[in-house]
Amino acid sequence: MYLNRKLLPVLVTFGLLAVMIAIGSFRYTGFFSTQVLFNLLIDNAFLIITAIGMTFVIVSGGIDLSVGSVIALTTIISASLVEKQGWSPSVVIPMVLVMGALFGTMMGAIIHYFKIQPFIVTLAGMFLARGLCYVISTDTITITNSFYTTVAQAKISLPGGSFVSINVLLAVIMLLLAIFLAHYTRFGRNVYAIGGSEQSAMLMGLPVARTKILVYTLSGFCSALAGVVFTFYMLSGYGLHAMGLELDTIAAVVIGGTLLTGGVGYVAGTFLGVLIQGVIQTIISFEGTLSSWWTKIVIGLMLFVFILFQRLLSERRSSAKSLN
């Protein structure tokens, strides 16, 4: 019964996604086609990867506000080194991934060893990364490197005449790895234990410091990888890329059923949360007469509903424990 309650938010998210796709299919001609659905993945591959890292952070009881800025920093560093300095992508891409991971490690260490709230530390990280973007360049740097353009234009053909991009392949690989990491490894179990109660995790002898730092390292790595994917998607580097993406990422994780208080959440649910955002954007684009800002309005309303839903579930769970 307890397991069913934990799964309930994810099941609600899945049901909501199915209803939204059904409504779109009945209302708009051509909405329910495989390519339209695959386009959701193509357009949101970078958000999927970012949200994977954020899921681990929120499950552990933390938050990471720096993800959007790290993506922007990744794009501007990549574009600057490849276009202006003539560096090879084979050097630049691994370098920015390591930089993103180290940035996350730094924030995780400060959060744990100095006992500072994750909100404050990652807020500082957000300003730092975004500021570094403008130190490098205040203008858009267009990428014309053959490797980047080839990857951006490459299409992976699927049965039925549909296709996806290499970005989608990277996102799916990360999704499968994250599901395995969360549910079939000691690290994943430690993350859930810390999110449930850090004090209890310490008393159990779990490696709290190492796990918390690794969680933010993973988030930094995912943000940098999302930045690489975003660079392929936009073929440019710019300090204003991914503005506000941290809020979209948190929204996807919460809509996907992860509790903001930590300890409960599923990577698969986060994936569904990203798809819901994509479906909302697609419906609004099919409507034609609605402003794109309606996407934010609908997502905001959904967040209110899901947060209240999570609160009710938490209270029922607490009441059940007290009765036992």
**CATH code for the domain of 116:** 1.10.3470
Residues paired with 163 in a beta bridge: 157
In a domain, 53, yes or no: yes
Which residues have C-beta within 8 Å of that of residue 242, sequence separation ≥ 6? 46, 67, 68, 69, 71, 72, 75, 227, 230
In a domain, 305, yes or no: yes
Give the tokens for residue 164. 């996806």
The phi, psi pair for 188, rounded to 5°, reads -60, -45
Closest CA to 165 of 219, 260, 217, 229: 229
76 in Cβ contact with 238 (< 8 Å): yes
Strands 141-142 vs 156-157: parallel, antiparallel or unpaired: unpaired
Closest CA to 74 of 153, 121, 125, 129: 129
* 157: enclosing H helix or E strand: strand 156-157
Looking at residue 1, its pLDDT comes to 42
121 in Cβ contact with 107 (< 8 Å): yes
- How far apart (Å, rounded) are the C-alpha atoms in residues 146 and 139? 21
- How far apart (Å, rounded) are the C-alpha atoms in residues 275 and 210? 32
Q: Could you tell me the sign of the dihedral formed by the alpha carbons of 274, 275, 276, 281, in that order?
A: positive
Give the tokens for residue 215. 């969680």
Instruction: Find the radius of gyration of the CA atoms of the chain.
Output: 20
In a domain, 324, yes or no: no
Residue with tokens 């090879």: 88
Looking at residue 2, its pLDDT comes to 46
Residue with tokens 């490696």: 207
In a domain, 318, yes or no: no
Q: Name the domain count of the chain.
A: 1
Q: Which domain holds residue 29?
A: 2-313
Give pTM, 2 decimals: 0.93
* Largest distance between two CA atoms of the chain: 67
Looking at residue 323, its pLDDT comes to 55
Residues paired with 141 in a beta bridge: 237
Residues paired with 142 in a beta bridge: 236
* Displacement of CA 76 from its chain's centroid (Å): 20
Q: Could you tell me the sign of the dihedral formed by the alpha carbons of 303, 308, 311, 316, in that order?
A: negative
In a domain, 233, yes or no: yes
In a domain, 289, yes or no: yes
Question: How many other β-carbons are positioned within 10 Å of the β-carbon of residue 144?
Answer: 11
In a domain, 92, yes or no: yes
SS3 163: strand
Question: Which stretches of the chain score pLDDT less than 50?
Answer: 1-3
